[in-house]
C-alpha cells in the first residue's frame, strides 16, 4: 500500500486505506519522540514553511517539532508579521514563497479552501493546518490515532461530538474520518450551532446532549468558538454549560470506559468541567503527544507521495 497524495487538504479526499497507512506510519514515528536523541534524518535537506494566518500555538508548535524531528529545515511565518498586513494577496504571497523553493507549506487560514487555492497554483506540497470552518485533517487523524491506541479499533465505536458543530472544522474532519473508518457518529449541540443538513454527512444529530452521550465509547467535546460566532447564537456561557457542558454526572451516561477528548484549547467550566478535564477518562494530553507523530507521518508521506503518484501513473 503506497500513498499517492501530494497534498493533505482534507479528510474528504482520503480513503480508509490512506487513513490506516497514515496511522500506521505515525505509530512508527511515535517511537522517535521517546528517544534520547529525538531526531531522524528522513527529511534532511527539505524546507518546510509553516504559514499561519490565524492564531495557533499548539498546532504550529506540533508541526514545527514534527518537521524538526525529521531533520527538515522549518520556519514559521505568522500573518501579523507577513506582508499580508501590507495588502499582499494570498497568491502573491504564495508565488514569493515558491521562489524560495520550499518543499512543503503547512498553512492555516481563516477562509475555507485557501489551502486548495494554493495547491492548485504552486509546485510545493500543501498541508492544511485548518481552513476556516472547513477541515482540520491533522487534528482528526491524531484523534483517530488516540482512539485506535486506546480502544484497539475504530470500527463499530459510537463517538459523540458535542458543542459548536457549525464553526468546527475539527468536527467536520472527524465526521469524515470516523465514518470512513466505520464508527457511528452522533452530533449534539444547540440548534443555533448545528448546521442545516449536517446529517447528510452520515451522522446522527440531536439537540439533547444526554441522547448523544448514552452508551458512547468516545465523547469529543468542542470548544465554544467565541471569536467566530459573536454573541447572538448563545444566550450565555452559563446556560450553555448547563445544557451542553460535560461533567462527572452526565459522563456517567456514556460507557464506563469511555474516552473524553478535546481538541484544545479548553474553556474550563464552559464546555468541560475541570473534574472531567483532569479526570481518569481524559486522553487530552495523549492527543497532543500523538499530534506530533501524526504530523511527522503526514510530512513524510507527502514528501514521497508525488513520486509514487507519478510512478503508478
Residue (142 or 178) nearer to other proteins, CB: 142
Was 30 annotated as part of a binding site? no
Which residues fall within 8 angstroms of residue 236, CB to CB, at 6 or more apart? none
Q: Name the residue nearer to other proteins (CB basis): 163 or 305.
A: 305
Q: Is 59 annotated as a binding residue?
A: yes
The separation between CA 38 and the C-alpha centre of its own chain, rounded to angstroms, equals: 23
Residue (105 or 220) nearer to other proteins, CB = 105
Task: Give me the least distance between CB of 251 and other proteins, in Å please.
Answer: 34
**Cβ of residue 44: shortest distance to other proteins, in angstroms?**
9
Q: How far is the CB of 60 from other proteins (least distance, A)?
A: 23
CA angle at residue 252 from 266 to 165, to 5 degrees? Answer: 40
Strands 218-221 and 73-78: unpaired
Parallel, antiparallel, or unpaired for β 125-131 and 204-206?
unpaired
Q: Which of residues 35 and 121 has its CB atom nearest to other proteins in the complex?
A: 35
Separation of CA 56 from chain center: 12
Closest separation between CB of residue 306 and other proteins, Å?
8
- Could you give the residue numbers annotated as active site? 58-59, 86, 108, 136
CA distances for 283 relative to 23, 30, 186, angstroms: 17, 16, 19
The b-or-e profile of 163-194 (16+ CB within 10 A means b, else e) is: bbbbbbbbbbbbbbbbbbbebbbbbbbbeebb
Rounded Cα distance between 267 and 294, Å, is 25
Is 139 assigned a ligand-binding role in the annotation?
yes
Residue-wise burial string across 135-158, b where 16 or more C-beta atoms lie within 10 A, e elsewhere: bbbbbbbbbbbbbbbebeebeebb
255 marked as binding residue: no
Question: Residue 310 Cβ, how far from other proteins at the closest point, in Å?
Answer: 9
Query: Does 228 belong to an annotated binding site?
Result: no
Shortest spacing between CB 47 and other proteins, in angstroms: 14
Query: Which residue ranges make up the site for other proteins (CB under 8 A)?
Result: 1-3, 21, 24-25, 27-29, 31-32, 35-37, 39-43, 70, 297, 300-308, 311
Question: Cis omega before residue 265 (within 30°)?
Answer: yes
CB of 282 or CB of 290, closer to other proteins: 290
Q: List the beta bridge partners of residue 221.
A: 162
> Among residues 20 and 229, whose Cβ is nearest to other proteins?
20
CA gap 280, 233 in Å, rounded: 33
Which residues on adjacent β-strands are paired with residue 272? Answer: 246, 268
**Is residue 311 part of an annotated ligand binding site?**
no
Binding residue per annotation — 89?
Answer: no
Please enumerate, by residue number, every residue annotated as part of a binding site for L-aspartate.
86, 169, 223
Please enumerate, by residue number, every residue annotated as part of a binding site for carbamoyl phosphate.
58-59, 108, 136, 139, 264-265
Amino acid at each position: 500500500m503506497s500513498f499517492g497524495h501530494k497534498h493533505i487538504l482534507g479528510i474528504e479526499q482520503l480513503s480508509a486505506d490512506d487513513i490506516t497507512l497514515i496511522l500506521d506510519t505515525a505509530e512508527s514515528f511515535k517511537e522517535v519522540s521517546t528517544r534520547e536523541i529525538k531526531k531522524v534524518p528522513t527529511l534532511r535537506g527539505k524546507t518546510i514553511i509553516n504559514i499561519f494566518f490565524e492564531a495557533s500555538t499548539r498546532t504550529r508548535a506540533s508541526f514545527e517539532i514534527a518537521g524538526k524531528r525529521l531533520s527538515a529545515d522549518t520556519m514559521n511565518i505568522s500573518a501579523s508579521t507577513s506582508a499580508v498586513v501590507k495588502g499582499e494577496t494570498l497568491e502573491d504571497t504564495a508565488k514569493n514563497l515558491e521562489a524560495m523553493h520550499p518543499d512543503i507549506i503547512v498553512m492555516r487560514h481563516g477562509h475555507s479552501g485557501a489551502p486548495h487555492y494554493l495547491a492548485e497554483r504552486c509546485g510545493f506540497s500543501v498541508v492544511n493546518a485548518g481552513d476556516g470552518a472547513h477541515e482540520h485533517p491533522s487534528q482528526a487523524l491524531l484523534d483517530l490515532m488516540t482512539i485506535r491506541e486506546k480502544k484497539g479499533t475504530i470500527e463499530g465505536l459510537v463517538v459523540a461530538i458535542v458543542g459548536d458543530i457549525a464553526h468546527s472544522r475539527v468536527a467536520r474532519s472527524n465526521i469524515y474520518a470516523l465514518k470512513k473508518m466505520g464508527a457511528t457518529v452522533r452530533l449534539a449541540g444547540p440548534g443555533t450551532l448545528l448546521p442545516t443538513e449536517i446529517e447528510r454527512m452520515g451522522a446522527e444529530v440531536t439537540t439533547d446532549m444526554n441522547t448523544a452521550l448514552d452508551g458512547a465509547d468516545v465523547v469529543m467535546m468542542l470548544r465554544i468558538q467565541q471569536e467566530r460566532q459573536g454573541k447572538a447564537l448563545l444566550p450565555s456561557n452559563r446556560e450553555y454549560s448547563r445544557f451542553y457542558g460535560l461533567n462527572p454526572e452526565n459522563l456517567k451516561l456514556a460507557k464506563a470506559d469511555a474516552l473524553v477528548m478535546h481538541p484544545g484549547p479548553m474553556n474550563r467550566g464552559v464546555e468541560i468541567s475541570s473534574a472531567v478535564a483532569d479526570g481518569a477518562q481524559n486522553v487530552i494530553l495523549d492527543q497532543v503527544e500523538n499530534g506530533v507523530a501524526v504530523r511527522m507521518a503526514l510530512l513524510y508521506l507527502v514528501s514521497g507521495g508525488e513520486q509514487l503518484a507519478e510512478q503508478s501513473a
